[in-house]
Structure 1
Amino acid sequence: MNIGVILGSVREGRNGEAVGKWVMDYLATRSDENVTYELVDLKDYDLPLLGTQPTEARGHAIQNWSSKIASFDGYVIITARIQSCSSRSIKKCT
């Protein structure tokens, strides 16, 4: 089983990287048989905002994101809560 641990914020100064490292360190201590974990950073994908027309380059980014997500059997999503809502970054990738 392949599990994606997704950093759901792309803003500068985000805390998600530290939380993601902590989660990955914790998961490394588990003795789950046949389970692998991979940290995936939304910042590595230039996904367009919802309602905008994607450029050709962003179309490739969308394809890359879709392929990456399809490679997982499950997900752990690390996301900021801003004014009791999920971040815009996580909304546009789901």
Structure 2
Amino acid sequence: MTPLRLAVIIGSTREGRTGDRVARWFVDQADRHDDLSVTVVDLGDYDFPTSYPAEPTASVRAFVGEVGRADAFVVVTPEYNHSFPASLKQAIDYAYDEWQAKPVGFVSYGCRSTGLHAVDQLRTVFTALHAMTVRDVVGIDLLHGDPTPPHVDQLRQDTRVLLDQLRWWGLTLRDGREARPYVS
């Protein structure tokens, strides 16, 4: 069977961000599964325009191409002021059909809330794009630092659950898209 193509999207572009470290930790966990082909899509690597262009730029086309190739997504997002970053919203809006009928999971981080306010808002956005968000989330409380003991055991368990859900939905929806084009 062809491995499920999982794109891990780092949603923060702030200098000194935590998202890249969180994403590396998550990718280390995901890489342990032979049935996944993991690609990191770091929004900090794209030179997106400051306003929505009439014609897509090379960076926009490259990002949309990554979204189009993926079978499933994990969005690594911080919580800023009870929401997700503007850089992530801008990137999400550059693609449309490419998100449809694909599952999205979340690894979030923040102080006390573990980023769940951001995830709640992202669920609404991805639902509008006809993507399927999975139920369980990996949430990291930055007050405890990066994924370290004693919290790492729970985070690994949460990651296993998230990846199980993404694999099931990802394979099911990939088979469905191959058998019958999605109608939006």
Task: Report if TM-score (shorter chain) is over 0.5.
Answer: yes
Write the letter of the residue equivalent to 1:36. S
Give the count of matched residue pairs. 89
> SS of the counterpart of 1:83?
coil
Q: Is residue 39 of structure 1 aligned with residue 12 of structure 2?
A: no
TM-score (norm 2): 0.45
1:27 positional shift: 1.0
Q: Is residue 24 of structure 1 aligned with residue 23 of structure 2?
A: no
1:66 equivalent in structure 2: 64
Cα gap change, 1:43 to 1:55, in 2 (>3 Å): farther
Q: Which has the higher helix share?
A: 2
> SS of the counterpart of 1:85?
coil
Higher relative contact order (CA 8 A, sep 6+): 1
Q: Deviations over 1:18-62 (max 9, x none)?
A: 1011001111223x53x211111001111224xx25398x71111
Structure 2 unaligned regions, length at least 5: 93-184
TM-score (norm 1): 0.84
Report % sequence identity: 30
> SS of the counterpart of 1:29?
coil
CA distance in 1, matches of 2:78, 2:23: 12
CA distance in 2, matches of 1:40, 1:62: 12
Q: Is residue 10 of structure 1 aligned with residue 13 of structure 2?
A: yes
> SS of the counterpart of 2:87?
helix
RMSD: 1.8
> Larger radius of gyration, structure 1 or 2?
2
Structure 1 unaligned regions, length at least 5: none
